[in-house]
Amino acid sequence: MISSFEGTNIYTKDTAALAAFYSEVLGISIPFEGYGNFDGAKIGFDKKQPGIIIWDETKWEKLTTGFVNLVFGCDNLDETYKQLKAKGLDCQPPVTMAYGGKEMNFRDPDGNHITLLEGAY
C-alpha cells in the first residue's frame, strides 16, 4: 500500500524560470534539477523529503488543471515579508487570522497561490 508522500506536481511552460522564483526569491533549495535541459525540478528542503516537483508542460503530459495553493511555514513572517518586498515581490503584509496564526498570500509567476504561515492551524 501507500508508504510515503513524495510531493506535489505543478506544470509550467518555463521550468527554469519558475524554479528560479522559488529558489532565488523565496529561498527554497532545488535538491533535484531534472533530467537534462531542466525539463523538471524538485524544490524542497531535502531530496529525500516531499517537495514540489515542477514539470515542463510542453514535454510531459500536463496532469493537473487549474492552480494549486502551496503552504510554507515561517518562523518570523513579518521579517520574511520585508525580505520578499526587498526582492521585488508584489505582496500584501501578513494578517493575523481568527485561529491565531499569521498568514501572507501571493501568487507565483504562473499564478499558483502561495500561503506563508507563522503559527499552527
- Per the rule left: phi > 0, alpha: psi between -120 and 50, beta: everything else, 7 is left
Q: Determine the Cα–Cα distance for residues 52 and 68; give it in Å rounded to an integer.
A: 11
* pLDDT tens, position by position, 34-53: 766 667 888 988 878 888 88
| Average pLDDT taken over every residue of the chain | 85
Instruction: State the average pLDDT over residues 81-93.
Output: 94
pLDDT above 70 (res 121) = no
Task: Enter the C-alpha cell of residue 118.
Answer: 507563522
Asked if pLDDT for residue 118 goes beyond 80, the answer is: yes
Entry pTM: 0.78
Q: Are 118 and 75 in contact (CB under 8 A)?
A: yes
